[in-house]
Amino acid sequence: MPDPSQLKTLDLKVYSATWCPDCRRLESWLSAQAVPYTKVDIESEPGAAERLEAETGKKAIPFILVDGKTWVRGYHRELPQRLDPALLITELLAAAQA
């Protein structure tokens, strides 16, 4: 598995909501790996939901804004466990290079 510590240099903003189980799963994993991130609650932060939809074309959460420029979905709906840490690390590192 790729090393999660590589993510510590990235500026990660997790667009989420308190009621979302995929959001809680992602945030729990990031916290367990000591990866810093900023939570953007789409229900309480003005304009957050609109920005997410305008820039991704999606209403689904969680989504992660990497270094203020590239969006990565914070879940893997096609997988039974809904989150593959190795795949997520790869996607986030690729987004940082974009």
Quote the pLDDT of residue 47. Answer: 96
**pLDDT tops 80 at residue 14:** yes
Q: What separation in angstroms does the CA of 20 have from each of 33, 62, 83?
A: 20, 8, 14
Tell me the backbone φ, ψ of residue 50, rounded to 5 degrees: -65, -40
Identify the structural domains of the chain with CATH numbers, from first to last: 4-97 (3.40.30.10)
pLDDT digits (tens, 9 = 90+) for 49-74: 999 999 999 989 999 999 999 999 99
| Identity of the residue numbered 10 | L
Q: What 3-state class would DSSP assign to 56?
A: helix
pTM over 0.75: yes
State how far the Cα of 61 lies from the Cα of 59, in Å rounded to an integer. Answer: 7
